[in-house]
Amino acid sequence: QVQVEESGGGSVQAGGSLRLSCAVSGDAYSTSFVGWFRQAPGKEREGVAACYAGRDIKYYAASVEGRFTISRDSAKTTVYLQMNSLKPEDTAVYYCAAGYQGPFVRWSNSQNYKNWGQGTQVTVSS
């Protein structure tokens, strides 16, 4: 059984930083590829970043590249999303997802993930 749980959300002023954590557990295959998504009110869920445990493979949305960094601890049980230079438009509920199936290049397609966390709110004020 795959479990996914996010933590680390909160409120910050524009230009600030936050680090989100995603604890993943389950079989190695289902937890090898993990993605971060976000959903703002009235908007569709969008992919933010993803990484693969087996090799140094990481993906970022254009809107966050250079500001956000995805990483994984050595035990492969926690995936982090370091968010710097935050903007008000980064405000959203952030979700972590595992159980990925499909080609890696389609990492931002939420339908390719089977297991989701409950989400954590990130609010950036101007």
pLDDT tens by residue, 68-93: 999 999 888 999 999 999 999 999 99
Q: Phi and psi at residue 72, in whole multiples of 5°?
A: -140, 145
pLDDT-based confidence at 117, cuts 50/70/90?
Answer: very high
Phi, psi of 71 (to 5 degrees): -150, 170
pLDDT value at residue 56: 86
Residue 73 identity:
D
Task: Find the mean pLDDT for residues 63-67.
Answer: 98
pLDDT (0 to 100) of residue 53 = 87
120 Cβ neighbours under 8 A, 6+ residues apart: 6, 7, 8, 9, 20, 93, 94
Instruction: Quote the CA–CA distance of 25 and 23 in Å, as a whole number.
Output: 7
pLDDT number for residue 118: 97
Which tens digits make up the pLDDT trace of 39-57?
Answer: 999 999 999 999 998 788 9
